[in-house]
Amino acid sequence: MRIAMWSGPRNISTAMMRAWGNRPDTFVCDEPLYAHYLKVTGLPHPVADEIVAHGETDWRKVAVWLTGDVPQGKAIFYQK
């Protein structure tokens, strides 16, 4: 099962991600497209270089990952 929790800023999305992350059957990811966004826009962010260096910047690869098998053999893939 895949749950894609797309939301705006300043809401309960982080609390929901942490709640789902406490389940042993759930793999969670946080802002999988953020590295791509920062690289493409060049907008200032306090740790942009670190996020871009450690994240996937090719949105196509992120899309394949998000729609592929659930990581770590879990039953639920919670995507924030």
Q: Where are the domains of the chain?
A: 2-79
User: Would you say residue 9 has pLDDT above 80?
Assistant: no
Interval 4-24 mean pLDDT = 87
Exposure string of 28-67, with b = 16+ CB inside 10 Å and e = fewer, is beeebbbbbbbbeeeeeeeebeebbeebbbeeeebeeeee
**pTM, full prediction:** 0.85
User: What 3-state DSSP class applies to 2?
Assistant: strand
State pLDDT tens for residues 43-72.
Answer: 998 999 999 999 999 999 999 999 999 999
Q: List, in sequence order, every residue forming a beta bridge with 78; answer none if it has no partner.
A: 3, 28
Q: How far apart are CA 77 and CA 7, in angstroms?
A: 16
User: Would you say residue 38 has pLDDT above 90?
Assistant: yes
Nearest of 69, 34, 71, 67 to residue 53 by alpha carbon: 34
